[in-house]
Chains A and B, each alone.
Chain A
Amino acid sequence: MAVQNINMTCIICPRGCTLNATVDNNGEINVAGNMCARGKKYAVNELTCPMRTLTGTVITKKGGVLPVKSEKEIPKKYLLKCAHNLANVKADDNIMPGDTILDNILSFDSDEEPVRLISTGKISY
């Protein structure tokens, strides 16, 4: 018997599969509706620890705007906090696309693996 039955939209790719996840008495998660293996992993994550990529901008010392992202997904619960922390970052103006801006955007939680903040494009002035 399933104790929990949850529908969700997969966000991994633009297809946006409707997933149905059931959790049985032993806590085992079964996923249906996914058209690829990544969908299953997404559904399991959504029920345990939802993950998202952070994207945003930081300003540079000379007043430019630089697009950035988290190098990998971070726990969804930290998305807003990390986004707000970007307001305190001032990047160098010689930063190139792909360069590291911060070594760890999750430094406030020592239990989390470090996640770097990286530049994704050119600075616009």
Chain B
Amino acid sequence: MKNKKYDIVIIGGGPAGMSAAVAAYDAGVRSILILERENSLGGILLQCIHNGFGLHRFKEELTGPEYALRYENMVKERGIEYSVNTTVTSLTQDRKIIAMNSEDGIFEIQSEAVILCMGCRERPRGALNIAGSRPAGIYTAGSAQKLINRMGYMPGKNVLILGSGDIGLIMARRMTLEGAKVHAVVELLPYSGGLSRNIQQCLNDFSIPLLLSHTVIKTEGKERLNSVTVAKVDSNRRPIKGTEITFPCDTLLLSCGLIPENELTKSANIQLDAITGGAVVDQNRMTSAEGIFSCGNVLQVHDLVDYVSEESEIAGRAAAAYVSNKSQKKNENIQIIAGDNVRYVVPQLVTDNKDITVYFRVTDIIKNVRILVCDGEKEVFSRKSLKVAPGEMETVKLSSDLLSNCKDGKLTVKIIQE
């Protein structure tokens, strides 16, 4: 690597990083570098070999590798520089990056702007407090997905899955197609966090039971897992005595949530949102550190890669504008606040009066609701919705009129039941 100074450095070469790079290039920036720790661009999409990606973005149904390849080609067509097998070890507020790989050793890069696109990782067993011994056969669902789809290893034959988010559901089908017996998908909550289409095509199609309001209370086995016991839980999520079911199985997959991977963000002392686990950003996806942007799953966990691309284009374009015209620091901030029944909002700050879309998640499944935006006590926006669910990201558009009329510097997004 000759050049150690760039206009924009993008950390992470998955869907977010590639989309941000393409958008920044198309906005006129030529000095761009993508840093990727794996041996190729594409990120987690490369192990998501099922279809269902790209319906919004490309108006056709693609598999993960196909979606990744489209963006990889866009990166290559533009001649955007990228460096694989390269790990970033630190980032500072003034956009100094320390990275390393086996060719260049440890090196430093100074960049005018940085876009954080590190994605997220899975909640590990250690964070779940599952009682029992520590035999082989307990994997996070994503690790099992990588073993099967990228490395060609089958992790087990008799499987139980804890967590009914999309990765858990997809893995139930994948293990079944590969010849394993999936006994059940167990979900702590009274509803699944996954898309309803995945309940249909991954569970119902193969008659795999979904045990709602259940959790794993015991794992047994010495060398290898040989059984998992689950029990029904009460409204406080405590196991109910007498409802235990023991499944003989050699494999337990954990699909219990994703955690944005923000170690570098923390090392740069960037303000984080306690709920999303990602940075606090403005409408340009700029973080509390000037010139450092964040987008994709490292900012908030998305339902669809199409939305990751959309968000990353916002960050890519904004980083390009920042690089070409740095006098854009604005003071008139409006805070966007998560109100009743809303878990979080992104962006959390607005610094100008252009139309924007606010993304948010709700706390519970609620039917027949009104989505409200309030300026103090006053309702300034209202929209009906038949149903909202935590598993589905919601949006609300704030017009420039609405933003410029905001009185007390705060807009609250809330949900009320009709």
Q: Which of B29-60 contact A (CB under 8 A)?
A: 40, 46, 49-52, 55
- State whether the Cβ of A114 lies closer than 8 Å to any Cβ in chain B: no
Across-interface contacts of A53 in B (CB, < 8 A): 51, 61
Tell me if B196 counts as interface (CB < 8 A to partner A). yes
Q: Which residues 101-125 in A have Cβ within 8 Å of B in the complex? A: 120-122, 124
Inside 8 A of B337's CB, which chain A residues have their CB? none
CB-defined contacts of B195 to chain A, threshold 8 Å:
14, 16
Q: Report whether A121 and B177 are in contact in the complex, using a CB–CB cutoff of 8 Å.
A: no
In angstroms, Cα B201 to Cα A52, docked, is 8
By a CB distance below 8 angstroms, the chain B residues around A84 are: 179
A16 contacts across to B, CB distance below 8 A:
195-197, 200
Decide if B152 touches A65 in the complex (CB within 8 Å).
Answer: yes
What is the CB-to-nearest-CB distance from A50 to chain B, in angstroms, rounded to a whole number? 8
Interface hits, A42-81 → B, CB 8 Å:
52-57, 59, 63-65, 67, 69, 76, 79-80
Measured CB to CB, the nearest residue on chain B to A56 is B177
> Which residues does chain B contribute within 8 Å of A76, judged by CB atoms?
205
Identify which of A9, A57, A63, A69 contacts B196 (C-beta below 8 A): A9
Query: Is A97 within 8 A of B201, CB to CB?
Result: no
**Are A120 and B65 in contact (CB-based, < 8 A)?**
yes
Give the residues in chain B near A57, CB-CB below 8 Å: 49, 148-149, 152
Of all chain B residues, the one with the shortest Cβ separation from A13 is B55
- Are the C-beta atoms of A69 and B197 separated by less than 8 Å? no
A11 is contacted by which of B46, B68, B200 (Cβ under 8 Å)?
Answer: B200
Q: Does A8 contact B (CB under 8 A)?
A: yes
The contact of B63 among A63, A64, A83, A120, by CB within 8 Å, is A120
Cα of A36 to Cα of B51 in the assembled complex, Å: 20
Chain B contact residues (Cβ within 8 angstroms of A): what range?
Answer: 20 to 34
Residues in A neighbouring B68, C-beta threshold 8 A? 121
A-contact 0/1 string along B64-83, CB 8 Å cutoff? 11101100000000000000
Q: Which residues of B contact A91 (CB under 8 A)?
A: none
Task: Tell me which of A12, A55, A59, A79 contacts B152 (CB under 8 A).
Answer: A59
A8 touches B200 (CB 8 A): yes
Cβ of B349 < 8 Å from any Cβ of A?
Answer: no
Question: For residue B199, which residue of chain A has the nearest CB?
Answer: A9
Closest residue to A68 on the B side, CB-wise?
B49
For residue A69, which residue of chain B has the nearest CB?
A: B63
Interface members, chain B 302-331 (any A CB < 8 Å): 303-304
The reply to whether B201 and A10 contact each other, CB–CB distance below 8 Å, is: no
Those of B190-229 within 8 Å (CB) of chain A: 195-197, 199-201, 205
**Are B304 and A14 in contact (CB-based, < 8 A)?**
yes
A52 to B151, CA, bound (A): 25
| B4 interfacial by beta-carbon distance below 8 Å | no
Given contacts A12-B197, A64-B152, A121-B65, 14 further A-B contacts (CB under 8 A): A8-B200, A9-B200, A16-B197, A18-B196, A53-B51, A54-B177, A55-B49, A57-B149, A65-B152, A69-B49, A83-B178, A97-B66, A120-B63, A121-B63
Closest 8 CB pairs of A and B: A121-B65, A16-B196, A83-B177, A67-B49, A11-B197, A16-B197, A65-B152, A9-B200
